[in-house]
Structure 1
């Protein structure tokens, strides 16, 4: 995988990983012709507060989701390798994206195209990330719209001049530009409307609709572990 030239990065708490994550990954793997896609569960998700499932369990759930993602790629004839990376779990202290992208740049070299995949809510929240303004020195961003998150309404001078300026400087309307650029570009994809909220899913799993929600929203292999261990009840 170290010889790959176009790398997608999907980071997150993955508590639990769900179908929204897989849809996002599949969409951009195909659109950006990714050689590899890394799912990177956070070790200490510093912005998430307490009550997070232990890191090793979230890693196992993400590994299981990776099996279903790889099978989906095979079925759809998407030639993207899937990897589950422990770097944030093995790294001491809070999980900062800036440390992750620096390590990935060192691993894959100066010329590889590295693209961080995210939903619009994460883009809007970027100024709260540690050293966020330096991230574009190391990666591109591919952003998918989310239900009930109107990017135009959220990004306005009153709410976030930083994000507005960031977009003005880095946004491209050409997805293929990301394939040919190691870093520094932002592409917003409005064709995919995907919900990435694990928080809402956890709440619904604790309700009387648990079985219906689980079968619709959680990948098969991940759900098997959740069911066997009685998680999220």
Structure 2
């Protein structure tokens, strides 16, 4: 992390990483003038088992961000046993970077609507800002939050900040990050295309496509390579 810069943490299963993930990371880096750490989850509490094991997913991330200024891979959740709780990850990051360092956790619109189900979710704001990605066609505003997640709306009502202001404070704010264009990629659809022999290579960086092919990943619909059990939520 560069001294004085906002650190944006982008967590997920990345099973596999695709160009849509990279577009989000680049948008956060450029729009927020931030360093972005992609954090693969070991045992994602909000989803079932992954199709590639933890180290394979991390290696694909390494290939995807190679040579990308401001983007890095953080393996800390792979080194912990049990659920990959964001609260615990942010606690580690806060201890490492200090109380004054500006840190933000990046979530998608769907995750924001479920934030109240996350482990110790209100306390996340004591450790970081929360930034929600605004994808075209999946926008989040106060009316949608009021309908689907009133607890979340009540929590963030006094925390809204312009994205450019996040670096001025260490934590506690909420901001929306608009995505300029709609991205077609999804990991679920990508796995389906690989499994069924459809066109998929253009959805991932060339090096990631070569890795998936060499490892024979996602070909067997019943193959679940990780032993991590599903758990409650993030």
TM-score computed with the length of structure 1 as normaliser: 0.85
TM-fit CA distance, 1:184: 1.0
Distance (whole Å) between structure 1 residues aligned to residue 209 and residue 218 of structure 2: 11
Alignment of 1:126-141 (within 5 A): 126-141=115-130
Question: Match of 1:169?
Answer: 158
Question: Match of 1:65?
Answer: 64
TM-fit CA distance, 1:153: 8.5
Alignment of 1:1-233 (within 5 A): 1=1, 3=3, 5-34=5-34, 36-67=35-66, 70-71=67-68, 73=69, 80=70, 82-152=71-141, 155-172=144-161, 174-195=162-183, 197-209=186-198, 212-215=199-202, 217-233=203-219
TM-fit CA distance, 1:121: 1.2
- For residues 171 and 200 of structure 1, do their structure 2 counterparts lie closer, same or farther at Cα, with a shift above 3 Å needed? farther
Distance (whole Å) between structure 1 residues aligned to residue 77 and residue 159 of structure 2: 27
Alignment gaps of 5+ in structure 2: 220-234
Distance (whole Å) between structure 2 residues aligned to residue 89 and residue 163 of structure 1: 28
TM-fit CA distance, 1:17: 0.6
CA contact 1:37–1:83 (8 Å) conserved in 2: yes
Distance (whole Å) between structure 2 residues aligned to residue 105 and residue 214 of structure 1: 38
Alignment gaps of 5+ in structure 1: 74-79
More helix by share: 1
TM-fit CA distance, 1:4: 5.2
Distance (whole Å) between structure 2 residues aligned to residue 119 and residue 194 of structure 1: 13
Deviations 1:2-34 (A, max 9, x none): 745321111100100111111111111111111
Distance (whole Å) between structure 2 residues aligned to residue 96 and residue 21 of structure 1: 20
Secondary structure of the structure 2 residue equivalent to 1:142:
strand
Bigger mean CA offset, 49-58 vs 96-105: 49-58
Secondary structure of the structure 1 residue equivalent to 2:217:
coil
TM-fit CA distance, 1:185: 1.1
Distance (whole Å) between structure 1 residues aligned to residue 114 and residue 152 of structure 2: 8
- For residues 154 and 229 of structure 1, do their structure 2 counterparts lie closer, same or farther at Cα, with a shift above 3 Å needed? farther
Question: Number of paired residues?
Answer: 218
- For residues 85 and 155 of structure 1, do their structure 2 counterparts lie closer, same or farther at Cα, with a shift above 3 Å needed? same
TM-fit CA distance, 1:95: 0.5
CA RMSD of aligned residues (A): 2.1
TM-score computed with the length of structure 2 as normaliser: 0.84
CA contact 1:141–1:186 (8 Å) conserved in 2: yes
